[in-house]
Amino acid sequence: MTSLFDPGMLGDIQIANRVVMAPMTRSRAGDGDVPTDLHVEYYRQRAGAGLIITEGTQPSPAGKGYCRTPGIHSSSQIKAWRKVTDAVHAEGGKIVLQLMHVGRVASHLNKAPGVETIAPSAIQAAGEMFTESGMVPLDTPRAIETDEIPSIIEEYASAARNAVQAGFDGVELHCTSGYLPAQFLSSGSNHRTDGYGGPAANRIRFVVETIQALSRAIGSERVGFRICPGNPFNDIHDDDPVETYGLLLKTLSPLGLAYLHLIDWPNPQIESLPLAQSCWQGPLILNESITLERAKTLISGKTADAVSFGRPFIANPDLVLRFRKGLPLAEFDPNTLYSPGPEGYVTYPPAEIGGGVAD
C-alpha cells in the first residue's frame, strides 16, 4: 500500500514523498522583480516537501499584476532563481516554477512604465488591488488581438526555457484564480468572436496551445497545470464549467503531462474530483484544505498521487517532518503574509522535541 511518505513520480520528476508545497504569493521580490536571498532561504527551509511549487511568477512584464511578485523573463531573474533551485536541490528537494500571467487582474501602478494590462476581452474585473500608493480598482484591460496570441504563448514557452536554465525541475501553468488562462476558459470574461471565443472548444484553445508550447519547449513530462473549476475568485464565471473543464481535461490527458494539480473546491455547479477522475488519465495532485488523515487516505486509496498543502507550509517549514512524527503544527501570522522583509517569511522555527530541534 502506498504511503504519503513513499517516493513517487510526477511525469519525469521523481519525488521523495507525496507531500507537495502549493504555490503561494508572498510578495517579497526585489527591484526588477528579482528573487532575493530571502527567497533562497524560504524555499531551502521547505525542501523537505516531495515537490515545491513556487509562488506565481510572471512569464513577461505584461503578466505582472501584484506588487513585489517575481519574474522569469530577464537574465537577472534567471540568475537569482538559480540560487533558489541550487539551495533546494542541495537539500535533496525538487522544485517547479509556477507560471502566472494575471491578465486583467492587474494595476498599471504595479507594472513597469508603459506596460499594458491585457485580457481576452476588454471587460474590467470587479475588485481592487494593493499598490504602494494604496488600494485601487483593477485596470480595464485592452482586448488581445488574434494575431498577438502566438507571441503571448511564446512568452510562456520562453519562460519555461528560462526556468530550466535557472535549474527548475519543471513548470506549472496557473489556470485558475481568475488569471489569464482562466479568463480565456470562462464565458463570463471571454466574449471573443474569433477562434478563441464562443463555444467551449474555442475557449479552451489558448490553454491547450500554451501547454503544447510548454511541452515542446521543455518536454511534456516536466509540465503540470493547476485548475479549480467553477472558482469565482477575481470575478470569474463560466456558464457550464462541467463542459469547459471536462473538454479541457480530455484534450490534455493524452499529452503525457507531469500532473494535473486540482483544487477540489466545493461548488454546487460542479463536482471537480469525479470530473477529473472521468476525464484525466495522468498523475493527480489534490489540494484544498486537506487534513493529514485525509491526505493519507487519498494516497493509500490511490485517489491521488500527491497532496498539496499551502498555508501549513508558511509557519511549518519542516511540515513533512511534523507529519511523520505527529507533531503539532504552528499557526502563521496573517499580518505578515504579504509584507516585505524576513518577518513571517523565513522566521518560523522548526519543531522542537524535548527542548531540542527535531531531526
d(CA 143, CA 192): 9
Does residue 1 belong to any structural domain of this protein? Answer: no
What pLDDT digit, counting tens, does each position of 29-63 carry?
A: 999 999 999 999 999 999 999 999 999 999 999 99
What pLDDT digit, counting tens, does each position of 237-251 carry?
A: 999 999 999 999 999
156 is catalytic: no
What pLDDT digit, counting tens, does each position of 11-25 carry?
A: 999 999 999 999 999
302 sits in the region (left: phi over 0; alpha: psi -120 to 50; else beta) called: left
Q: Are 133 and 109 in contact (CB under 8 A)?
A: yes
Q: Which of 42, 43, 156, 179 is catalytic?
A: 179
d(CA 237, CA 150): 25
Does residue 245 belong to any structural domain of this protein? Answer: yes
Does residue 165 belong to any structural domain of this protein? Answer: yes
What pLDDT digit, counting tens, does each position of 106-132 carry?
A: 999 999 999 999 999 999 999 999 999
What pLDDT digit, counting tens, does each position of 152-191 carry?
A: 999 999 999 999 999 999 999 999 999 999 999 999 999 9
What pLDDT digit, counting tens, does each position of 184-217 carry?
A: 999 999 999 999 999 999 999 999 999 999 999 9
In this prediction, residue 352 carries a pLDDT of 80
> What is the tally of structural domains in the chain?
1
Does residue 124 belong to any structural domain of this protein? Answer: yes
State the pTM of this model.
Answer: 0.97
Number of H helices, E strands in the chain: 11, 16
Alpha-carbon Rg of the chain, whole angstroms?
A: 19
CA torsion, points 15, 95, 225, 138, in degrees to nearest 10?
150
Range of the domain at 142: 8-357
Does residue 289 belong to any structural domain of this protein? Answer: yes
pLDDT of residue 356 exceeding 80 = no
d(CA 330, CA 269): 35
The CATH number of residue 297's host domain is 3.20.20.70
d(CA 343, CA 348): 8
- The model's confidence at residue 333, banded by pLDDT at 50, 70 and 90, is very high
Does residue 28 belong to any structural domain of this protein? Answer: yes
Secondary structure (DSSP) of 201-238: HHHTHHHHHHHHHHHHHH-GGGEEEEE-TT--TTT---
pLDDT of residue 218 exceeding 90 = yes
Work out the mean pLDDT of the chain and round it to a whole number.
96
Q: 3-state SS of the chain: helix, strand, coil percent to 5?
A: 35, 15, 50
Which residues make beta-bridge pairs with 51?
20
pLDDT of residue 355 exceeding 80 = no
Does residue 121 belong to any structural domain of this protein? Answer: yes
3-state class (DSSP) for residue 174: strand
H or E element: which one contains 20?
strand 19-21
Does residue 3 belong to any structural domain of this protein? Answer: no
